[in-house]
Structure 1
Amino acid sequence: MVEIRNYNVKGDGITNDTAAVQAALDSGKVVHFTPGTYLCGTLYMRSNGGIHLDEGATLLAIPGKENYNADDFSPRNRIFAAEKVSGAHLIIAEECENISITGKGKIAGNFRSVFDLTQTDERWRPHYPRPEWRMAQMIFLAACRNVTIRDVILCDSQYWTCFLLDCDEVEITGVKIRCDRMVINADGLDIDCCRNVRIAGCDIDCGDDCIALRANETHAGRAVPCEHVTVENCLLRSPACAVRVGVGNGILKNCTLKNLQIRDSAIGVGICPSYTPGQCVNIKNVLFEDVTFEGKSAFILIPLWGAVRNEDDPEIKPVRNIIFRNFQGKCSGSSFIGGPVAEEIFSGIRLEDVTLTMCAEPERLSEYRWPFEENGVLDVYRMPELDTTRFYGRSEGGHAPVLHKP
C-alpha cells in the first residue's frame, strides 16, 4: 500500500489532483486515501493495485470535459448520443487483474456540476433535463479479472454509476449507492457479459435501474455470456426497475437473486429480451427467491420494451426457466406476464408461492401501466401454459380482479 499524501496531492476539493493521484495509481499498489476531497478527472487503475478510501475521503469528479478520456480510448467504449452521454469516465480499468476499490469513503460523480436542478422535464417521469454534455459510467471496468468493490459509497453519478463489462470473478459487497432520483439513466450496478459475480449486502437508491443484468456481446467485442451472477441480501429503491434483466444480443443464464428488499420502486423485476430494436438476449435459468416488494408493479415479463419491430430485426430469442419463489408484494399497480409472441418465446415461467396485494384506489386505475380496459393484480396475456396455481392475489376493496387474462 502507498500513501496518497506522499504524491503531492492537495485534497482540498479545489485543486486538480488528477496527475498526482494517477502517479500513485501507476505504482501498481493499493493507494490509501486519508480524509480529504480529491478533485480528479479520468483515473486509470493498474493490475494488482487499488483504491482504499478512509471515511471522510472523497474522490470527486472535476467539471469540464477536457479533464476526461477521449470517447474512442477503447473499442469497448461507447457514447450514447440519444441520451446526450459522452464516453468519459472518472475511473477506468481495462484488462486488469486483482484490482480493488474499498473503504468507507466516497466516489462522487458531481452531477450538480452539469445538471440544471431548477428545471424539470415531465416526459415519461419527472427528471432534470439532460445537459448537452455529461460523463458516462462513473466507474468503467472492462475485461478485468478478480475485482473487489467493498464498503464504499458511490454517489451523485451523472449516468450509470458502476459498469462492469466482460469481467470475471467479481465481488461487490457492502456498497452503498446514492444517486438523485431525478437524474435519468443514473443506474446503480450494470453487469454486462460478466461471469462469476457476487453482489451482496448492498444498499442502492438511484435514479434508474438499481441492478441491470445485460448480455451485450457487441460492446464486449466477443461472444461471451453473462452467467453465474448471484445477488443477495440487498435493499433496492428505484423509480424504474429495481432489477432489470435483458439488453444486448448475447446469452444471459444461470443467475440467482435472493433475499431482496425492494421498496419505493416503479417495477420490482423487469425481464425483457428485446429492449432495443435490432437486439435480443437469450435469457434462461434465472431464480428470484425470498423477495419482498413495495411499489407499483412487482414484476413484468414482456417480449418487447415498447420497441416497434421491423423486418430487419432478428427473431426474438427464447426466455426459459424463470422462477419467482416466495415473492411477496404490496403493489399500487398491476404486474404483467406476456405480450405479443409471448406464447412462442416464454416457457418454464413458474410462480411458486407468489403473493401480491393490490392497494390502488379505484380512481387511480387509469394510471396503471398496462393498456387494457381493466387491470388485475396480475395480468397474463397470451400465456396459455403459465401455471398460476401457486399464485395468491388480493385487491383491497375488490376494485380489480385477482387474475386478469385480457
Structure 2
Amino acid sequence: MAVKNLFLLTCALLAFIGVSPSNTIAQTIYAYPAYPGAASSPLYTVKVDNQTVFTEKLTQFAGEMQVHYAHFSLEGTATIQVTVNESFNSYKLSPKSRKISVTKSGNTLTFKTGPNYLVLQVDSKELLFVLIDPPEINPPKLTDSNVKNIMDYSVDNKGSKLETKTIQTAINEASGSSKNILYFPPGKYLTGEIFLKSNMTIYLAGGAVLYGSNNTADFNTGSGGMSTEGMQHALVRFLNCKNSKLIGRGVLEGNGKLIRSKGLNACVVKMDESSNILVDGVISRNSSYWNTLPYRCDSVTIKNYKVINCRPTSTEYNNTDGVDFDESTNSSLYNAFLYCGDDPMAVKNEFLTWNGKATMNTRNILHEKIVTYSNSASCKIGTKTMGQSMSNVTFKDIDIIKANRAMVIDAIDNALIENIKFEDIRIEATGILIDIQNTSKPSWRTTVNQC
C-alpha cells in the first residue's frame, strides 16, 4: 500500500554523537540481591564505586551465545570497574554515542557513567550488559497502608514450588481493594501464566523474579485474547484491564528457550484490549516468541524497560522480538534496552478482523531513547499492515549497536502508512540502512491486497 510523509530526520550512519557523562558524584547506589539459583558470572566482575554488584550469567541460552549482565540503579555518576577473568586485547563499550572514556589496567576496564544501558564486547567473548537504571521515584513500601505482601499468602520464594494459583488469588484480591499494590520481596517465585486485573499494581522489588515454569501446560491457565502465529499465552497477561501497573526493579523470566523447544510460542508480557497500563523498570527476559505485545490497547506506557532475549548465532533469527505495538494507539516505549533474536521494535496491524471486529488502526506510537542489539530490523513498521491506516509512529533517539536492517517499512498489505518519523538514529553496524518495501511478498504468510 502507499507510503507517504516519511521523514528521515538527522539520521547518522556510523556517527557517534552524544553527550559526555556528567561529572557529578554518585549520591546513592541501589544494588539488588541475587535470586535463589541465579548463576554468578565466571567471566566478569563488576564494581560500582568499589562496591561489587551481582553479575548474572544467563545459562538458559546454552546452545547460543550466553550473555552476562549487571543491573543496579544509580543517582548521579559513579566509577564502574569491569574485571575480565581472562586475558584480552580489544574491547568496545557501546553505544559509542555516549562517548564514554574507558581505561584498561591489566584485565580491568574503568569508566564513569550515570544511568545508562551499555554493552561491553571484549575480544569475541560473551557479551556483558551493564544496565543502570535511574532511582525509583517513591516506590511502594511494605509498611504502606495500600500494600499487600505476597508472602502473607505463604508462597514459596525459593523457586521450588509452583505458585500460579496462589499468586493469581492474591492478584484477584488486590484488584480494586484498599490494598491494591501486591508486593513481591526479593526471591524466586515459580509460576505459570498469571493475569493482572484492573485497578491494581504488581511491584517486583529488585532481586525478585517471577520465573516461568518448565511445563508448557502451566501457560494455559485462562482463555481469551488474540492468538497469532501460535502465540496466545504469556507469563504475564493484561486481558481487558484498565488502570493496571507492573513496576519495580525485579525480573520476569519467561523460560522461553526451554518452552519453545517443547513447542510453545508465548510472550513474556501480553496485553489484550487494555488501557491505561504502566510497565516501569522491570527486566523482561528469555521469551520463547515476541517478548512484549500490546494488542488493541490504548494508553500503554512502557519505560525503563530491559529486554534480554536469546539471540541466535546458529541461525538468522528466531522470532524473539522486543516490544511490538500491534493495533494500538496513544502509547509509548521510553528509555529501553532491547537485545533480541528478531525485531526489537515492530509496529503492526495484525488482522483485518478479529473476534468480529475490524482492525484497530495503529496511531500515535512513540519509541524514544532506546538501545537495540539484534539480528533483524531495529525500527520497523510491519510486516503485517492490515486495515485502513498506520499513522504517527515515531522512532527517536535510538542507538542501534547491531542490526540486519536499521530503519524499515514493510508496507505489504492494504493499510496506508503515513507520518512515520525516524529521528536521531545512531547506527554502529547494520546490513541495510533504510529498507522500504511494498512489493516484496513474504514467503511465510498470505498478504492482503498487495500493491
Structure 1 length normalisation: TM-score?
0.68
Partner of 1:249: 386
Q: Which residue of 13, 38, 43 maps to 2:189?
A: 38
- The letter of the residue matching 1:284 is E
Partner of 1:223: 359
- The letter of the residue matching 1:65 is T
| CA distance 1:13–1:304, change in 2 (3 Å) | farther
Q: How far is 1:281 from its partner?
A: 3.0
**Does the 8 Å CA contact 1:43/1:92 hold for their aligned counterparts?**
yes
Residue 18 in structure 1 maps to residue 167 in structure 2: no
| CA distance 1:190–1:219, change in 2 (3 Å) | farther
Give the whole-Å Cα distance in 1 for the aligned partners of 2:403 and 2:296. Answer: 28
Q: How far is 1:94 from its partner?
A: 1.3
Give the whole-Å Cα distance in 2 for the aligned partners of 1:30 and 1:253. Answer: 36
Partner of 1:265: 403
Q: Aligned pair count?
A: 291
Classify the secondary structure of the residue corresponding to 2:324. Answer: strand
Give the whole-Å Cα distance in 2 for the aligned partners of 1:304 and 1:136. Answer: 30
Backbone CA RMSD of aligned residues = 2.2
Residue 307 in structure 1 maps to residue 442 in structure 2: yes
Partner of 1:52: 203
**Structure 1: 5+ residue stretches without partners:** 116-130, 318-406
**Does the 8 Å CA contact 2:231/2:266 hold for their aligned counterparts?**
yes
- The letter of the residue matching 1:161 is N
Give the whole-Å Cα distance in 1 for the aligned partners of 2:293 and 2:234. Answer: 10
Q: How far is 1:316 from its partner?
A: 3.3
**Does the 8 Å CA contact 1:70/1:87 hold for their aligned counterparts?**
no
Give the whole-Å Cα distance in 1 for the aligned partners of 2:153 and 2:448. Answer: 53
Partner of 1:140: 270
Aligned-pair identity (%): 23
Q: Which residue of 251, 261, 270 maps to 1:106?
A: 251
Give the whole-Å Cα distance in 1 for the aligned partners of 2:443 and 2:251. Answer: 41
1:13-57 Cα distance to aligned partner (Å, 9 max, x none)? 120011111111102122111001111011011101121101100
Q: How far is 1:87 from its partner?
A: 3.0
**Does the 8 Å CA contact 1:190/1:211 hold for their aligned counterparts?**
yes
- The letter of the residue matching 2:168 is Q
Q: Which residue of 226, 230, 234 maps to 1:77?
A: 226
Residue 297 in structure 1 maps to residue 417 in structure 2: no
Q: How far is 1:219 from its partner?
A: 4.3
Classify the secondary structure of the residue corresponding to 2:342. Answer: coil
**Does the 8 Å CA contact 1:231/1:256 hold for their aligned counterparts?**
yes
| CA distance 1:173–1:49, change in 2 (3 Å) | same
Partner of 1:207: 341
Q: How far is 1:309 from its partner?
A: 12
- The letter of the residue matching 1:50 is T
Give the whole-Å Cα distance in 1 for the aligned partners of 2:293 and 2:408. Answer: 19
Residue 153 in structure 1 maps to residue 283 in structure 2: yes
Partner of 1:3: 149
Q: Which residue of 286, 290, 294 maps to 1:164?
A: 294
Give the whole-Å Cα distance in 1 for the aligned partners of 2:262 and 2:258. Answer: 12
| CA distance 1:289–1:137, change in 2 (3 Å) | same
| CA distance 1:208–1:33, change in 2 (3 Å) | same
Partner of 2:92: none
Which 4+ stretches in 1 moved above 4 angstroms?
A: none
| CA distance 1:144–1:211, change in 2 (3 Å) | same
Q: How far is 1:205 from its partner?
A: 0.8
**Does the 8 Å CA contact 1:153/1:175 hold for their aligned counterparts?**
yes
Give the whole-Å Cα distance in 2 for the aligned partners of 1:242 and 1:65. Answer: 30
**Does the 8 Å CA contact 1:143/1:166 hold for their aligned counterparts?**
yes
Give the whole-Å Cα distance in 2 for the aligned partners of 1:249 and 1:196. Answer: 19
Superposed, 1:184-199 pairs within 5 Å as 184-199=318-333
| CA distance 1:314–1:157, change in 2 (3 Å) | closer
**Does the 8 Å CA contact 1:36/1:58 hold for their aligned counterparts?**
yes
- The letter of the residue matching 1:77 is M
Classify the secondary structure of the residue corresponding to 1:24. Answer: helix
- The letter of the residue matching 2:436 is L
- The letter of the residue matching 1:78 is S
Give the whole-Å Cα distance in 1 for the aligned partners of 2:444 and 2:378. Answer: 26
Give the whole-Å Cα distance in 2 for the aligned partners of 1:198 and 1:163. Answer: 12
Q: How far is 1:307 from its partner?
A: 2.8
- The letter of the residue matching 2:166 is A
Classify the secondary structure of the residue corresponding to 2:170. Answer: helix
Q: How far is 1:68 from its partner?
A: 2.0
Give the whole-Å Cα distance in 2 for the aligned partners of 1:313 and 1:294. Answer: 33
Q: Which residue of 222, 236, 248 maps to 1:91?
A: 236
Partner of 1:235: 371
1:196-227 Cα distance to aligned partner (Å, 9 max, x none)? 11211111111111011011243473332110
- The letter of the residue matching 2:246 is I
Classify the secondary structure of the residue corresponding to 2:160. Answer: strand
**Structure 2: 5+ residue stretches without partners:** 1-146
Q: How far is 1:254 from its partner?
A: 1.0
**Does the 8 Å CA contact 1:86/1:133 hold for their aligned counterparts?**
no
Residue 316 in structure 1 maps to residue 446 in structure 2: no
Give the whole-Å Cα distance in 1 for the aligned partners of 2:298 and 2:268. Answer: 20
Q: How far is 1:65 from its partner?
A: 2.1
